[in-house]
Amino acid sequence: EIVLTQSPGTLSLSPGESATLSCRASQSVGISYLAWYQQKPGQAPRLLIYGASTRATGIPDRFSGSGSGTDFTLTISRLEPEDFAVYYCHQYGFSTRTFGQGTKVEIK
């Protein structure tokens, strides 16, 4: 099973600042098989990025994904108030999938 480790656990930032979230895999993940999700309290997750770097429909361009192999990054430039949430990376293995433990982006 591929283990995804996200860092940092919590990121304290102010609106307008940029956020860099890391997702490291225990084994190589195919570039098409890494996604990022956003979750706000009491809500279902929302797909942000699929294929490591492609924004899902309706996702603002301040969200960007990059990386390959075992290291992936989600960058949020110019944080808006609605961006403060928990972010999860997710890998789609051949027969099993795993989520990272999440990074909470909170208002400083």
Partner 1 sequence: EVQLLESGGGLVQPGGSLRLSCAASGFTFSSYAMTWVRQAPGKGLEWVSAIHSGDETYYADSVKGRFTISRDNSKDTLYLHMSSLRAEDTAVYYCAKDRRSSTSRVPGEDYWGQGTLVTVSS
Q: Which CB, 73 or 102, lies closer to partner 1?
A: 102
The C-alpha atoms of residue 29 and residue 35 are separated, in whole angstroms, by 11
Least distance to partner 1, CB of residue 92, Å: 5
Q: Which CB, 33 or 64, lies closer to partner 1?
A: 33
Give me the 54-73 binding string for partner 1, x by CB under 8 A, dash otherwise.
x-xx----------------
For 105, residues 6+ apart whose C-beta sits below 8 A from its C-beta are: 10, 11, 13, 19, 21, 76, 79, 83, 84, 85, 86, 87
Binding segment for partner 1 (CB under 8 A), chosen from 15-23, 64-72, 76-84, 93-101, is: 93-101
Structure tokens at 16: 């307008």
Helix spans in 33-106 (H): none
Q: Which CB, 37 or 84, lies closer to partner 1?
A: 37
